[in-house]
Amino acid sequence: MVTIVLPPVTLRRQASPMSRTIFFEVEVLDAKTKEQLCFLDKVEPHSTIGDIKSLFYKLYPHWYPARQALTLDPKGKSLRDEEILQSLPVGTTATMYFKDLGPQLGWTTVFFAENIGPLLIYLLFYFRVPYIYSDSYAFTSSPHKVVTTACVCHTFHYLKRLIETIFVHRFSHGSMPLRTIVKNCLYYWGFSAWLAYYINHPLYTPPCNRFLLQICELGNFSIHLSLSHLRGDRCRGRRFPVPSKNPFTWLFFLTVETSCENRKKVVGTWVSFSIMTQCLPVAVFTLLGFIQMTIWAKGKHRAYNREFKDYPAVRVAIIPLIL
């Protein structure tokens, strides 16, 4: 990271003579060098971390708020934008440490990039464009219905995710590092090409069973829609999911239900796809996806238990009665 150290800068706000508000002073240091980057004076106690990032951005325009991470310890956890200054374990003079997160991309862009690749790549193999298989198979189609069914299901899955990205999802975090999206795209795009190559291969002849996959896809979309309604149009606060008019949320009435129904149904979708295609690359993708979904689900489950005192103690992370 290139560090730009300027003389201490003071930003002052005029306070009313009759005001009894106790203002804060915020010192921002570089997390690596411990050099002072700026000194913010007369910061209102109700200011959020997001407000402090905006003030910092005025001094350093190349470090936009999404690129900033502020911590109370050089190696500590990043503070959330919605955290309020006076609620932090600091005195009226707060010392924060700045970390440069690098170039960032919005989550809508991230999800779009991750999902458009597998959608298009799979179709290249399904239509057998030249140079993938033998020239004699270029632009031919498989005689087996399961191959077409698999293409329809795969296309529907990623179209659904694109629609959710644009119209349904509301993200609690504003961006992702550019280096992470490159890694994610290589993962999703690479696996899509691998499994598509074998499923659409001229010698491929498996059985088919797609009913469970359709149920899981519908359930996943339904849960995502329900989760998006928890935040409302402008609310960024966190709430945990409970049964609603959505019939797919009625599972939360069960005491053994999970904290992450959406992730469980994603796993169910790919398990169903593995059974339908009986293809080793799909099974490997499903296994790795299950491991990652479990990590995310357990993290969310711990967060729910930590943040909500009334969170049902009998819920588990992703697999009822097991995990």
What's the pLDDT tens digit per position in 33-48? 999 999 999 899 999 9
Helices (H) and strands (E) in the chain, counts: 7, 6
Residue 163: phi, psi to the nearest 5?
Answer: -65, -40
Side chain identity, residue 209: N
Average pLDDT for 169-185:
81
Helix ranges, the chain (H): 49-59, 107-126, 145-167, 178-199, 211-231, 261-277, 280-307
pLDDT of residue 27: 96
pLDDT of residue 131: 92
- Band (pLDDT 50/70/90 cuts) for residue 296 is confident
Diameter of the chain by CA atoms? 86
- Band (pLDDT 50/70/90 cuts) for residue 247 is low
Average pLDDT for 147-153:
93
Q: Give dist(CA 60, CA 58) in Å, integer.
A: 6
DSSP characters over 250-292? GGGGSTT-BS-HHHHHHHHHHHHHHHHH--HHHHHHHHHHHHH
Please determine, for residue 260, whether its predicted confidence score (pLDDT) is greater than 70.
no
Q: Which residue has the higher pLDDT, 86 or 14?
A: 86
Q: Give dist(CA 56, CA 28) in Å, integer.
A: 9
pLDDT of residue 174: 67
Q: Which of the residue ranges 55-69, 225-239, 266-280 has the most confident prediction, judged by mean pLDDT?
A: 55-69
Q: Average pLDDT over the chain, rounded to whole?
A: 82
Q: Which residue has the higher pLDDT, 32 or 304?
A: 32
Average pLDDT for 233-237:
48
How much of the chain, in percent, has pLDDT values that exceed 90?
A: 51
Please write the tens of the pLDDT for every residue from 308-323: 776 777 677 777 667 6
pTM recorded for the entire structure:
0.73
- Band (pLDDT 50/70/90 cuts) for residue 165 is confident
Average pLDDT for 7-25:
58
Three-class SS of residue 27? strand
Size (the chain), residues: 323
Rg (CA), the chain: 25
pLDDT of residue 227: 61
* 291 token code pair: 């491991």
pLDDT of residue 234: 47
Three-class SS of residue 68? strand
Structural domain spans, the chain: 101-206, 209-323
Q: Which residue has the higher pLDDT, 212 or 73?
A: 73
Cα-to-chain-centroid distance, residue 212: 26
How much of the chain, in percent, has pLDDT values that exceed 70?
A: 74
pLDDT of residue 299: 85
* 88 token code pair: 């932090």
pLDDT of residue 319: 76
pLDDT of residue 14: 46
Average pLDDT for 200-223:
71
Please write the tens of the pLDDT for every residue from 54-70: 999 999 999 999 999 99
Q: Give dist(CA 16, CA 196) in Å, integer.
A: 67
Q: Which residue has the higher pLDDT, 168 or 4?
A: 168
Cβ 30 vs Cβ 5: under 8 Å: yes
Q: Give dist(CA 183, CA 205) in Å, integer.
A: 33
Please write the tens of the pLDDT for every residue from 188-209: 999 999 999 999 999 998 765 5
pLDDT of residue 304: 76
- Band (pLDDT 50/70/90 cuts) for residue 98 is very high
Q: Give dist(CA 185, CA 182) in Å, integer.
A: 5
Q: Give dist(CA 19, CA 6) in Å, integer.
A: 32
